[in-house]
Structure 1
Amino acid sequence: MARTTGPPVYGETGLAPDHLTDLASRIEPTGDRSPIPVRTPITDDEIGTVPSCTAADVERVAERARAAQSSWAETPIETRAAVLERFGDLVSDRRTELLDIVQLETGKARHHALEEVLDVPLTCSYYAANGPAILADADRSGAIPFVADASVTYDPVGVVGVISPWNYPLTLAMTDAVPALLAGNAVVCKPDERTPFIALALASLLEEAGLPDGLFQVVTGDGPTVGSALIDAVEYVAFTGGTETGRTVAEQAGRNLIGCSLELGGKNPMVVLEDADVETAARGAVKGAFTNAGQLCLAPERIYVHEDRYEPFLDAFVGATRKLSLGLEFAYGPDVGSLIDGDHLELVEAYVEGAVDDGASLLSGGRHRPDVGPFCYEPTILTDVDPDSRIACEETFGPVVSVYPVAETSEAIERANDTPYGLNASVWTEDRARGRRVADEIDCGTVCINDPYTVGWAAVDAPMGGFGDSGLGRRHGPEGLRRYVDARTIATSRIGPFDAPPGVSPGWFAAFMTGLTTLQRRLVRWLP
């Protein structure tokens, strides 16, 4: 791995500590609060502080959001869409500053940060263009044709809580917030305490785009205090994070009888069929497994390769991996950046060391690189991994992937599905029709063919979410918008109450309604 050195910590735009302090001043806790130090993984230095908010702070912010939401809900959806389209434009225009902040907070490579910045304008444009039609009043079939009708209208739920993670702090906050705002809700965002400044920068851009005051607010603090208080203060919660925390969020949301969507962990499989091009598949494995130093919920951590392609694939994959550069520049240079902090580094190291102790073979990587950065770890490829070992079953969430040979496609599918998770998978083949057939048999919310994750994530018109322990609900597409509204049915009778008219015997009316219902059922089956 080549070591690369970069420009000053504060990036291409010359971010100064005062700028981060100005962003933190957007948070207005009630009274003095202990500061939370925010450290950069690039040097492990403190770059600023944010307030440690309390449950009372969260309640006050939610009340302010609720007061602003009522007039926003009455604003025409086309006007709301225009605000969000302008916000998308601003994110694109200010991408250099946003890239610097994302890199400063996460330590990821710049081209991986760019994926976040590109995603938000696409999401804004999709919902601005399609949201009005998705949420338009809709006529539905009435109880009896020509006698009754029905229509559906959609109301915003109120205040939405967005609890966003540290690994993709820009896109995973905005992907949930943008459709919530378009639907007429207010949003209170609780970013991870390690990456608060990008959420605050986005709040500033939303304000500049014309979003009325109070509709998007940020609260900072630890999860058990601020996250729990937020769930108690809102009408819906969108959470992205670990599976065990997700269970806690779902339990609390259930007690409060509010809706929730949860994107949780994954132990994602990649299936390489015997007709796959090994160079293409290896390139996809590098992209999928080592983007953001593997700190990606969609990353493949298990690769199943048909035995006819196993050795050529390994040669190509290991060769490409060893060419990757590890570094921390604020420029498009290094291929792989840093892990988020020391605790996560220790966890990744423990997974790899445990696997090797259990007999796994280390083909590439497997080393901490403090010469590059305090938390940098080399992209790592393992083989001969015990399928029942910890690293084979648990999400590593680092630049570590295990490769296994399989004799048949059916074996690959069976092993891909041998997990409680079901977030993302990929299938590699030169026969795309066959790839689709295999994809239909893999139990994941998204399956990509000849791409590790990008074609699925970037298909913003299609829903994304997990099966099993990977979560509940969906983001993106119409499903990602309708989660934030309550549907109301308005039904009208043209003849008054549906009951026997005066003077008509109940028996005659019962026979008439039975015949009418039978005819109606037949028409439903016959008519297109």
Structure 2
Amino acid sequence: MTFDSLSPLDGRVVGTFPVHDGDDVGAAVARARQGARGWRIQGFRGRRRVLDAWRRDIVAHLDELIAVVRAETGKPVGDARLEIMLALDHLSWAAGHAERTLRRRRVRAGLLMLNQSASLGYLPYGVVGVIGPWNYPVFTPMGSLAYALAAGNAVVFKPSEYTPAVGDWLRRSFVRAGGAPEVFEIVTGFGDTGAALCRAGVDKVAFTGSTATGKRVMAACAETLTPVVIEAGGKDALLVDADADIEAAADAAVWGAYSNAGQTCIGIERVYAHTLVYDRVVHAISERVRELRAGTDDAARLGPLTMPRQADVVREHIADALASGGVLREGALVETGQTLAPVLLVDVPESSSAVREETFGPTLVVNRVASMDEAVAKANAVRYGLSGAVFSRRRGRALAERLRGGMIAINSVISFAAVPSLPFGGVGDSGFGRIHGADGLREFAYAKAITRQRFRLLTLTTMRRTPRVDALVQRIIRLLYG
């Protein structure tokens, strides 16, 4: 059984791929299990050589990958290029920092165990299943693929059914660069294929996608106590303080809201502007929104939505915002199709789905607040906790600390995703666990502690312990901790 990957640009078939069933997935995991042994034996430096070669191969065939990303997602060429650049930076960082982050190191044993030598190291799980999204089909899964591989695992990658050609391209590039095929396996298909991967005996699953699907992944993995890292949705807010640089805040809001046609988990969907600058903020954003045009041609700044049914969600949220009293400041409600005009909504009630639920499309809600305390309270009032942004000259750090989320940018948006040393992830319905950075490397390895007795001292762990020793322990407790 096969399925076609259709381009949202023109409906053409980008490629035809197999629908892998449980047996196919199990076979892929078995092959990866064999590959994991040799991959681990290569050590950090051997793996780095392969990953560096993979990075160079991607660069050598950059235009080819850009074309595949554009064909399957519909995003503009410039956005595809930027996504790949960020992915390359993370691939380079993971390969270059794995050894110093995960290698075994000595730790202090403490006074009580001064006769013990203690060390801590991080070992690969073995085989990691990666379930990727369609909105950033290179950058987002690379946050799991690169870090899992650098940590010494083999991977089995299940790309989204909307972007299987991108996943297949990445795997072929890895093999072309000298990586063993069984170290990077790929399975394609729909939800059942992803569920089969969760149950196929992998040692960990890294999932990126909607909160609802993330819960189903967790439920499947719970059957075998397979650990998971979940990077789910968001409803991120940008706060504009009274002393903010209005023009910079407007630029950031428009980029955060409308880049990739709003299909960004860490994108900006809400703006809370202080009443003293609210009108200026709305005016500045409106000017910039009017400069944007959605289309399928090369000159369009926004492409079509990748997933057809997501357009219906966007339309529902816009309609609900207007029905509940919100005002359509810019754009129009497009009744059909996947190519949606950028929409700016103002004065939308906080109870509206456009404020509370992830829209994942080219919309932005800008609401007025009387104070930054009110802004923080409203920003934190949703069930998501992924990321956010603050524009303020004096109180940026203080406000950022109060926002609920795993990543906050001050006087910029989404900048944390481009810093490879920073962990990426959220709380609440945005998921848990981290990719990127040292935390991301450790996410794909388990801690292993080792002690070695260097010389005999007072032995407490014996059934022949005497009353005299117990009395000595009593004195030690009072001396050290009293």
Scaled by the length of structure 1, the TM-score of the pair is 0.87
Q: Contact between 1:123 and 1:175, CA under 8 Å: does it hold in 2?
A: yes
Displacement, 1:436?
0.6
Matched, 1:308 2:276: yes
Q: 2:125 aligns with which of 148, 157, 171?
A: 157
Matched, 1:448 2:448: no
Range moving further from structure 2, 140-149 or 281-290 = 140-149
Q: Contact between 2:9 and 2:71, CA under 8 Å: does it hold in 1?
A: yes
> What secondary structure is seen at the aligned counterpart in 1 of 2:277?
helix
Paired letter, 1:349? R
Matches of 2:220 and 2:308, distance apart in 1:
30
Matches of 1:306 and 1:114, distance apart in 2:
36
Distance change (3 Å), C-alpha of 1:375 and 1:495: same
Displacement, 1:280?
0.9
Matched, 1:69 2:36: yes
**What is the match of residue 399 of structure 2?**
438
How do 1:110-149 and structure 2 match up within 5 A?
A: 110-142=77-109, 144-149=112-117
> What secondary structure is seen at the aligned counterpart in 2 of 1:112?
helix
> What secondary structure is seen at the aligned counterpart in 1 of 2:405?
coil
Distance change (3 Å), C-alpha of 1:501 and 1:157: closer
**What is the match of residue 304 of structure 2?**
338
| 4+ runs deviating over 6 angstroms | none
Matched, 1:515 2:475: yes
Matched, 1:490 2:453: no
> What secondary structure is seen at the aligned counterpart in 1 of 2:237?
strand
Matched, 1:376 2:339: yes
Distance change (3 Å), C-alpha of 1:369 and 1:291: farther
Q: 1:47 aligns with which of 1, 14, 21?
A: 14
Q: Contact between 1:89 and 1:121, CA under 8 Å: does it hold in 2?
A: no
**What is the match of residue 24 of structure 1?**
none
Distance change (3 Å), C-alpha of 1:141 and 1:255: farther
Q: 2:427 aligns with which of 453, 460, 467?
A: 467
Displacement, 1:137?
0.4
**What is the match of residue 167 of structure 1?**
135
Matched, 1:348 2:314: yes
> Deviations 1:154-181 (Å, cap 9, x if unpaired)?
2210110000011111111221101111
Matched, 1:248 2:216: yes
**What is the match of residue 46 of structure 2?**
79
Displacement, 1:369?
8.7
Distance change (3 Å), C-alpha of 1:109 and 1:514: farther
> What secondary structure is seen at the aligned counterpart in 1 of 2:364?
strand
How do 1:78-477 and structure 2 match up within 5 A?
A: 78-142=45-109, 144-223=112-191, 225-233=192-200, 234-330=202-298, 333-368=299-334, 374-431=337-394, 434-453=395-414, 455-477=415-437
Displacement, 1:328?
2.5
Scaled by the length of structure 2, the TM-score of the pair is 0.96
Q: Contact between 2:116 and 2:451, CA under 8 Å: does it hold in 1?
A: yes
Distance change (3 Å), C-alpha of 1:140 and 1:303: same
Q: Contact between 1:135 and 1:154, CA under 8 Å: does it hold in 2?
A: yes
Q: Contact between 1:128 and 1:182, CA under 8 Å: does it hold in 2?
A: yes
> Deviations 1:369-394 (Å, cap 9, x if unpaired)?
97xxx511011110121111222111
Paired letter, 2:11? D
**What is the match of residue 5 of structure 2?**
38
Paired letter, 2:422? A
**What is the match of residue 15 of structure 1?**
none
> What secondary structure is seen at the aligned counterpart in 1 of 2:119?
strand
Matches of 1:71 and 1:482, distance apart in 2:
20
Q: Contact between 2:130 and 2:157, CA under 8 Å: does it hold in 1?
A: yes
Matches of 2:244 and 2:18, distance apart in 1:
52
Matches of 1:498 and 1:167, distance apart in 2:
59
Q: Contact between 2:70 and 2:76, CA under 8 Å: does it hold in 1?
A: yes
Matches of 2:462 and 2:188, distance apart in 1:
63
Displacement, 1:121?
1.5
Q: Contact between 2:95 and 2:146, CA under 8 Å: does it hold in 1?
A: no
Q: Contact between 1:368 and 1:375, CA under 8 Å: does it hold in 2?
A: no
Q: Contact between 2:347 and 2:368, CA under 8 Å: does it hold in 1?
A: no
Q: Contact between 2:15 and 2:165, CA under 8 Å: does it hold in 1?
A: no
Paired letter, 1:351? H
> Deviations 1:415-442 (Å, cap 9, x if unpaired)?
11111110010001223xx201110001
> What secondary structure is seen at the aligned counterpart in 1 of 2:341?
coil
How do 1:1-16 and structure 2 match up within 5 A?
A: none
Paired letter, 1:90? D
Matches of 2:39 and 2:289, distance apart in 1:
50
Displacement, 1:51?
0.7
Matches of 2:44 and 2:270, distance apart in 1:
44
Range moving further from structure 2, 91-100 or 393-402 = 91-100
Q: Contact between 1:339 and 1:377, CA under 8 Å: does it hold in 2?
A: yes
> What secondary structure is seen at the aligned counterpart in 2 of 1:41?
coil
> Deviations 1:457-509 (Å, cap 9, x if unpaired)?
0111011100111001011111101111122111122228933789x862211
Q: Contact between 1:85 and 1:121, CA under 8 Å: does it hold in 2?
A: no
- The runs of 5 or more residues in structure 1 that have no matched partner are 1-33, 523-528
Distance change (3 Å), C-alpha of 1:395 and 1:73: same
Residue correspondences, number? 479
RMSD: 1.8
Distance change (3 Å), C-alpha of 1:335 and 1:505: closer
Range moving further from structure 2, 169-178 or 435-444 = 169-178
Matches of 1:448 and 1:306, distance apart in 2:
18
> What secondary structure is seen at the aligned counterpart in 2 of 1:150?
strand
Distance change (3 Å), C-alpha of 1:519 and 1:88: farther
Distance change (3 Å), C-alpha of 1:491 and 1:520: farther
**What is the match of residue 16 of structure 1?**
none
Matches of 2:309 and 2:256, distance apart in 1:
23
Distance change (3 Å), C-alpha of 1:149 and 1:119: same
